[in-house]
Amino acid sequence: MTITIYHNPDCGTSRNTLAMIRQSGEEPEIIEYLKNPPSREKLGELIGQMGMTPRKLLRENGTPYAELDLGNPKWTDDQLIDFMLEHPILINRPIVVTPLGVVLARPSEAVFSILPNPDIGPFTKEDGDVVIDTQGRRVA
């Protein structure tokens, strides 16, 4: 089974999502999208598969979002995609693709909805937040 994660190793949410995928028994294809951004066609496809607009995929914190005035409604979807391709840090992450669907895993627990094996056992995020306790109950 092929699982792909568009990953930023500097992002805690992305690292937690990757750990959840691995704990589910899968080793995903990891695309560090800051080094290898998706093509225009692929980014458009991912946005469509997630059922969202390019604006919803924009990341604000730690990006040139404000200086580019991307909150301004004047920008078209195509223009927003252009900005994301020019500045990949604007692409919110992580995006996870499995045979069951595509999600923006924010929060990281969103990945459970498309994991072939979502019963990953006890899991605690790097910050200490318990997601699944030792009894197998989802806490978060």
To which residue do tokens 């992450």 refer?
93
Cα of first residue to Cα of last residue in the chain, in angstroms, is 27
Q: How many CB atoms lie within 10 A of CB 42?
A: 12
* Residue type at position 18: L
Contacts of 125 (CB under 8 A, 6+ apart): 12, 16, 108, 131
pLDDT by residue (tens digit) across 65-92?
A: 999 999 999 999 999 999 999 999 999 9
CA distance 7 to 14: 6
- Alpha-carbon Rg for the chain, nearest whole angstrom, is 16
Domains for the chain: give ranges and CATH numbers: 4-132 (3.40.30.10)
CB 8 within 8 A of CB 15: no
102 has pLDDT over 70: yes
The single-letter code of the amino acid at 9 is P
- Active-site position among 3, 5, 11, 97: 11
Per-residue pLDDT at 62 exceeds 90 = yes
The answer to whether 11 is a known catalytic residue is yes
The reported pLDDT for the residue numbered 140 is 62
What's the pLDDT tens digit per position in 123-137?
999 999 999 999 888
> How much is the pTM?
0.94
Q: How confident is the model at residue 139 (pLDDT cuts 50, 70, 90)?
A: confident
CA nearest to 49, candidates 98, 6, 115, 11: 98
Give the pLDDT confidence score for residue 1 in this predicted structure. Answer: 64
What is the residue-wise DSSP string for 60-74?
-TTSSTTTTTTTSTT
